[in-house]
Amino acid sequence: MNLTIPKNYQPKLDITKIEIAIKLIKDNFERDLASELRLYRVTAPLFVLKGMGINDDLSGIEKPVTFQIKDYNGYSAEIVQSLAKWKRIALADYGIKPGYGIYTDMNAIRPDETIDNIHSIYVDQWDWERVITPEERNINFLKEIVNKIYSVIKRIEFIVYEHYPQINPILPEQIKFIHSQDLLNLYPDLIPQERENRIAEEFGAVFIIGIGAELSDGKPHDKRAPDYDDWTTETENGYQGLNGDIIVWNPILERAFEISSMGIRVDKTALLRQLTITKTEERKYLYFHKRLLNDELPLSIGGGIGQSRLCMFYLRTAHIGEVQVSIWPDDMKYVCRNNNIFLL
């Protein structure tokens, strides 16, 4: 069982107040994010057709839930794992102009997920995507968007404090930017999770740039699919990557805590390069990839922001199951119940 039990843990709010606080957080965050990034709300699919290249492959090893459609000639569909590629198709089909974008409530099932304090087989996040110009495909623009998102995260933390003064704000005024290679240089003897813990504890909030490309030790900081984030284009300091993760320090679990994965998306050149690196060139013939290679999809930046992750952080809960209904192993439920962790 993968479970951390904080010493002498006591929830800040009871179950009823937690449910009310979840709505407060989601309503305010969704509105402020849309305003800050100029996003329209759209409806999202729960499933997509299999074999179209639309579903998110995540790190490449997770298997989506699949089922056959009776009235569609036996075609199979997949429950989405995220909407990273679907959103880009939507930008094109909806005719969204540069400087504007879309967001949606994404509900996904990831059956291969390891269940622990911060992971569930059910994923709920705000998936967003914004059209950009060729001139905006650079590291400075990426940082600009990260700062806008972080300003929303800070704003909502204060709103939570206004309603629940027993939950004190802890986020720093500024988010720290660091490339994953520089992070490796700082802590060459630590594994990626341990490096994240060190940097997050020191700065409180950090954006780690360059997730997916090999670092000097021959390993990536973490795996990324080859066909949405651009993790191979060189930045101004010679490192690779126009993507990254927003991570904060979680004082309850005493560890780094990922809030969002995001980045500037692949253009044609980066797509072909990353398909070659990952030996997945056959994807060029899938629906999504053909549209991208035929210049039918706009350049974009986008990502996902975990809804339950944010609620968990804001409300200082020890387990994601305190803010989200899912399926939990019986032994986990038993241990949690005996340690004041009440799973929904």
DSSP 15-51: HHHHHHHHHHHHHHHHHHHHHHHTEEE----SEEETT
Instruction: Report in angstroms the alpha-carbon separations of 84 from 43, 127, 170, 186.
Output: 14, 8, 30, 31
Gap between the Cα atoms of 204 and 153, Å rounded: 13
Query: Which of the residues 110, 130, 265, 309 is marked catalytic?
Result: 110
105 belongs to the catalytic site = no
Query: Which of the residues 81, 240, 261, 308 is marked catalytic?
Result: 261
Query: Which of the residues 30, 56, 57, 136 is marked catalytic?
Result: 56
261 belongs to the catalytic site = yes
38 belongs to the catalytic site = no
| Residue of 58, 98, 36, 145 whose CA lies nearest to 299 | 98
267 belongs to the catalytic site = no
Query: Which of the residues 62, 105, 182, 258 is marked catalytic?
Result: 258
Gap between the Cα atoms of 49 and 297, Å rounded: 19
Question: Which residues on neighbouring strands pair with residue 301, listed in sequence order?
Answer: 130, 264
Burial of 156 (0-12, 13-18, 19+ CB in 10 A): buried
125 belongs to the catalytic site = yes
| Residue of 159, 146, 128 whose CA lies nearest to 300 | 128
Query: Which of the residues 125, 181, 240, 300 is marked catalytic?
Result: 125
Query: Which of the residues 127, 196, 245, 322 is marked catalytic?
Result: 245
CB 22 within 8 A of CB 303: no
Terminus-to-terminus CA distance in the chain, angstroms?
18
110 belongs to the catalytic site = yes
Gap between the Cα atoms of 321 and 335, Å rounded: 13
Give the active site residues.
Answer: 56, 110, 125, 245, 258, 261
